[in-house]
Structure 1
Amino acid sequence: MELVIVSDTHGDRAILESIQQQHPHADAYLYAGDSELAASDSIFETYQAVQGNMDFDAFPMTRTIEVAGITVFMTHGHRFGVNFDLTQLIAAGQEVGAQLIVFGHTHQLGVERHDNMVVLNPGSISQPRGQFADIGGTYAVVTGNRHALNVQYLNRQSQVQPELSRTFTLV
C-alpha cells in the first residue's frame, strides 16, 4: 500500500501534478486542505481532498477512507484545535477506528503515534513553517500494511529526507 499525502499548497496546482507524476502507482492521493482551488478542478479526480480554512468551495470537512485494510481519517485540522493540541483530532480518529490520521493547517510536518494510531501532518509543500521549513516544503509517502506503516517525508523535488523517516508498528 502506498499513500501520497499533501497539504497547504495555497494555489500551487503544478506541484500537485508533479507529485502525482513522481508517484504514478500510489493506491491513494490525499490532500489535507488549503488548495485554494475549485472543488471541480480536475486535480481532485485523483486527490481526495478536504476543506481547509482557505478553501471556499464545497469540499468535505472530513473524510474517512479505507485503503488496503487501513482506515484513514483526514481533515485539515483548523476545526479540531490542532494549533493547541491533538486531543480533539485523536478523539475523532478513535471514533471512526482510524489507524492513520492525516491533517494539515499548521504548515509544520510531524508524525507521532497515539494508542494504535499514527497521526501525521505532511507539512506545507508551498509555505513551510517551523523546525523543518528550510527543507523548502514537504509531503509524505506512507507505505505498509495493517501491521506496520512506514512514513517518509519528501521535499518539492521528491527527494526523500531520510532523517525524517519513521516506521510504526500497529497492533
Structure 2
Amino acid sequence: MAERTIVIMSDSHGDRQIVQDIKERYLGQVDAILHNGDSELPVDDPIWNGIAVVGGNCDFGDFPENRVLDIGDITLAQTHGHLYGINYGFERLDFWAQEVGADICTYGHLHRAATWQLGKTIFINPGSVSQPRGEINERLYAKVRVTDDTIYVDYLTRNHQPFLAISQEIKR
C-alpha cells in the first residue's frame, strides 16, 4: 500500500481564515482534507471544494451528517459526533464505526484533541482549531499518516507547528 496522509480539522466556529489556511497548505499535497463540523459557514461556500465536510450542531444547511470515505485501503468514518451522543459515551459512535467497517473514525464536537483505539478502529478527534476545551488549551488540527503497519497521528497548532505532547503512533 502507498502511504496515505489525511488532514482533519473541526469546530472552527466561523473562523473561515483558518479553514482557508489549512486548505491552502495541504490541498493537492495530501490524500484528503476533512472538516468535522461546526464551521458555521454556508454549505455552498466555495471553501468546501476539496474538503470533505460534515455538519455539526451549530451548522445550518444541507451538510451530510456523516461520511464514509475509502482512501486507498483505509475505510474512514467521519462525523461531528453530536448525533451519536458522544457527550455521554462512545458506544453509539463505536457501533456505527463497526457497522461501516472503519479503520479510522474521526469526530469533533467535544473540542478536545484525542486519539484512542477500540477493537480495530482508531478514533481521532482533531480538537478545535478555534475554541479548545479541557486540559489542553491549544487550538489544534490533526495530520494522520497511514503506512502498511502504523498510523501516525500528529497534532499541529494553527501555525502548523507540531504539538508533540499528544501525538501518537499506533500499530495497525
TM-score, normalised by the number of residues in structure 1: 0.95
| Partner residue in 1 for 2:45 | 41
Which among 108, 124, 130 is matched to residue 126 of structure 1?
130
CA distance in 2, matches of 1:68, 1:149: 14
Q: Which stretches in structure 1 are left out of the alignment for 5+ residues? A: none
Q: Is the 8 A contact 1:35 1:55 kept in 2?
A: yes
* Deviation per residue, 1:23-80 (Å, 9 max, x gap): 2401100110001111111111111101100001110001000112110001100010
**Other structure's SS at 1:163 match:** helix
| Partner residue in 1 for 2:9 | 6
**Other structure's SS at 1:2 match:** strand
User: Is 1:17–2:23 an aligned residue pair?
Assistant: no
**Other structure's SS at 1:160 match:** coil
* Deviation per residue, 1:141-160 (Å, 9 max, x gap): 00013532100000111101
| Partner residue in 2 for 1:81 | 85
| Partner residue in 2 for 1:166 | 168
Q: Which runs of 4+ in 1 moved over 6 A?
A: none
* Deviation per residue, 1:79-131 (Å, 9 max, x gap): 10111111110110000000000000011111101111100100110011001
CA distance in 2, matches of 1:150, 1:158: 16
Q: Is the 8 A contact 1:51 1:59 kept in 2?
A: yes
Which among 89, 95, 105 is matched to residue 99 of structure 2?
95
CA distance in 2, matches of 1:40, 1:104: 21
TM-score, normalised by the number of residues in structure 2: 0.94
Count residues in correspondence: 168
Which deviates the most, 32-41 or 18-27?
Answer: 18-27
Q: Is the 8 A contact 2:26 2:33 kept in 1?
A: no
CA distance in 2, matches of 1:41, 1:148: 35
Q: Quick one: which amino acid aligns to residue 81 of structure 1?
A: G
Q: Which stretches in structure 2 are left out of the alignment for 5+ residues? A: none
